[in-house]
Structure formats: C-alpha cells, structure tokens
Amino acid sequence: MSAPETQADPYTISIVVEWENALNAEADRTFEMLRQVTSQARKHASRHAGERFEVLVVFDDELFQAAALQDFVESAIGRSREILDVRFLKLPGGGYYASKDHGVRAARGERVLLVDSDVVPEDGWLDTLLKALNNDGVNLVAGSTYIDAGNFIGKTFALNWFFPLRSEASHVETTSRFFANNLAIRRSFYLQHPFPHVAGTSRGSCVVLSHRLSEQGLSIHRANDARSSHPAPNGFRHLVPRALAQGRDQVLCQRFLGHRLWQSWPASFVRLAGHMVRSFVRTLAGRNRVGLGILQVPAAIAVAWVYYLLFWAGETGEHLGLRAVRNIRV
C-alpha cells in the first residue's frame, strides 16, 4: 500500500528510517543512530534559520509494538523534538524497500535522507549529504557505508562483504551504484525513479535502480565524507539466512534486468570461484587496515568462504525453485 503523496516543502528536510533491520540489530546501535541523526539535525537547524526536520519511522506493527517503539524513539531523541517532528508510519508486511518507498511518498520535504535502523552515521554526515544535494543538477547523493570492524566477525566482513573499507576520502564524485542505507535524494526525482519491485527479493532494488539510472544517463553522486558504519551479520543465526537470501536475490535481480548470462547457473560457479579468490587476497592484503591478527587470518578466510558457499547455495536454491530458499526474509 502506497502512502498518500503530499506537496513537498523546500524548507522541510525529511529523514526516513526503516525499522525492519532493527530486528537483527543491537538496541544500542539503533539508539545511537537516532541520537546521531537528531543531534546533527539540531546543529544544522541552528545554523539554517527557517529549515525544519521531520523523522518518519516506518515499521511493521505485526513485528513491533507501536507504543514500545514510540517510547524507544522518544527516549533517544530527547530535547531535539523542539526542532523536528516525529511520525510513525505503520506498514504491515512491507519489507525493506517498501518501507523506504512508503516513507518518501509520505515525506513533507523535497529533500529526503534515507538511513537504516542499524547504521550509525559519523559526525558531519547530515551536513555533507545536504551540501552535496543542494548543488544544481544533483538529485541523488550516496554516502559512504563501511562495516564496523570492532570485533573478529566485523573485521572479517569489513574485508570481504560488499561494502568498501572505511576511507578518509572527502571528495564528491560520480559513481555507478549506491546503497539505500545512506542516501539523500530529491523527493520529486524519487517519484519519477522509485525503487523497482523485484518479486521474491529482500534486497537488491538499489542495484537495479542504479543500473536503470546509468542506462538513462542520470548521474549518481557519492559524498565520501558522509560516512556511516554498518554492522556485520549478527551471529550465525543471521549470517546463514542473509547469505542464502543474498545469493537468491543476485539471481532474481539479474533476471529482472534481463542479464541472461549472469543469472544463469553456470555463472554462479564463476562467481563462487571469484568470491573464494577475492576473500583470500583481500584478507591477506587488507588485514592490517582493520587490525586483524596474522593468526586470525585462516579463521577469517574460513568464515568468508562459508558465507560465499551459502551465497552460492542461495543461487542454486533459486535455480531449483526450492521453497525454503524462496521464503527467506531478512
């Protein structure tokens, strides 16, 4: 169900937070995300008279109790309520991208920031995204998301997952892809180019949209200084379905785009071999950047290989039409 579309206000900045990822996130990460977002909004508003913020929390009320969620958000926001409005939007069974779509369509502002419930923005994140978005001809600005390398699993996935390592780069550049967890977009642009619905997937619509925008010659910008940390999979109970779903979604997204070769079963073996080689090389070459000890390298490579074997199993399950794979939601 789509949210009713409103007339955008150029002086309101809307921040859309999906709440699906909070199911697998540590509560303190989600609390810190809200604290950072609202603190940065308060600082921005103090320097830009007339601008106001709203936060739209989109949640599935079949998974979260509305009253408990409201109490949690209110406790994190605290005194920032004086400069921002908080709205809670129910979307039963919505899913990740549907939640973002619902929030953008309900947003009052023309400038919309998308952030996930399990990422933690660094200082300056909000101002950096807005500064880049305010340039003429810029409609979509991605931030730079990296994996929190605070423990062994974090270090392993920082080296081997699809997010790049944290960088000190600070320039704005054009890019060919973006992630929906750290994004600024003009609402009018989004309504013309929404996240496509790829049936059967949990993730991947941002990859499909990136491809479509590039095909149409529309620019995607990345502000490297707008950094957010993302958690690694939260234990093997999260890692296993995440890997299976990612492999399945890979096939479905390539099929949706009409890439017959890359969505084929033989191609999955090529990807598996590539993942294995890259994991080995990246772990050895990059371990010092994340503080991974030399004695931890074999275990890190083993974890990465298990993940990508499960990824391949997810691809295979989709090719075989296995219900157990097709029904995974993460």
pLDDT of residue 198: 96
pLDDT tier at 1 (50, 70, 90 boundaries)?
very low
Q: How many domains, in total, are found in the chain? A: 2
Calpha distance 325→164 (Å, rounded) = 27
Are 203 and 141 found together in one domain?
Answer: yes
22 with 97, same domain? yes
The structure tokens listed for 160 are 């081997």
Q: Which of 230, 248, 266 finishes a domain?
A: 230
Residue 255 has pLDDT above 80, yes or no: yes
Q: Please check the confidence at residue 7 and state whether its pLDDT lies above 70.
A: no
**Arithmetic mean of pLDDT, 91-95:** 92
> What sign does the CA torsion over 251, 230, 105, 133 have?
negative
CATH number for the domain that contains residue 36: 3.90.550.10
Indicate if 53 and 172 belong to the same structural domain: yes
User: Minimal CA–CA distance to 20: which of 49, 59, 46, 53?
Assistant: 59
Residue 3 within a domain: no
Task: Note whether 96 and 195 are same-domain residues.
Answer: yes
| Domain co-membership, 162 together with 256 | no
Select from 230, 261, 288 the last residue of a domain: 230
Q: Of 211, 230, 249, which residue sits at a domain end?
A: 230
Element (H, E) at 54: strand 52-59
Per-residue pLDDT at 11:
78
- Per 3-state DSSP, the chain is made up of helix, strand and coil in percentages (nearest 5) of 50, 20, 30
Predicted TM-score of the model (pTM):
0.94
2 located within any domain: no
Residue-number span of the structural domain to which 270 is assigned: 236-326
How far is the C-alpha of 7 from the C-alpha of 218, rounded, in Å? Answer: 24
